[in-house]
Amino acid sequence: MKIGIYPGSFDPVTYGHMDVISRSAKIVDKLIVAVLNNSSKNPWFTAEERVDMLREVTKDLKNVEITSFNGLTVDLAKQYKAQTIIRGLRAVTDFEYELQLAQTNRIIAPEIDTIFLTTSLQYAYLSSSTVREVAYYDGDISKFVSPEIAKRVEAKMREMGKRK
Ligand code: ADP
């Protein structure tokens, strides 16, 4: 069985992430989408909230499982007996960082390969931080995230005192 791990912050999950998820779910038998619970990033959403949102948007994809983790992606991959780590590439700006990460992981765990999916062009500009920025200044995020995620972002803004 081919098992892949797609790790990320998903703060919140965007149409760009969903595109990578649905495409990689066709490549592997089982896809584990893993929310990186990395405190240094100062996320808007808790890991539990991000897991919940991912479960909501992937509920129709039967071979996709959502989890959260602290620590190294390669250790998570070993835990799930995954052979591949999947990452998305938007632009050359992602490349240097992603290459370094993939090479580091290869040194630590040579049996695990990283595969990159290039973004669908209509999402090439899209990142979770763009979504947060636009939402924060009252912009329309309906082209960036699914309706259920937009509602969660609205609720989070109210929680932060940004909306009545
Ligand atoms: P991280 O904080 O680890 O970069 P993100 O949640 O921002 O986590 O992204 C997780 C992965 O998804 C990364 O590989 C990133 O390059 C990819 N990704 C994010 N947005 C897009 C997008 N719009 N199109 C394709 N890949 C994307």
Low-confidence ranges of the chain (pLDDT < 70): 39-40, 164
End-to-end distance of the chain based on CA atoms, in angstroms? 49
pLDDT for the residue numbered 93: 83
107: part of which helix (H) or strand (E)?
Answer: helix 92-108
Query: 85 CA to middle of ligand 1, Å?
Result: 13
Rounded to two decimals, what is the model's pTM?
Answer: 0.94
The three-state secondary structure class of 88 is: strand
Where exactly are the structural domains of the chain? 3-159
- Please provide residue 25's backbone torsions phi and psi, each rounded to the nearest 5 degrees: -65, -20
Q: Which of 6, 13, 17 to mutate to test the pocket of ligand 1 (most atoms within 8 A of CB)?
A: 17
Q: Which of 14, 18, 19, 20 to mutate to test the pocket of ligand 1 (most atoms within 8 A of CB)?
A: 20
CATH number of 3-159: 3.40.50.620
Q: Strand pairing partners for 86?
A: 115
DSSP state of 123: G
pLDDT for the residue numbered 164: 64
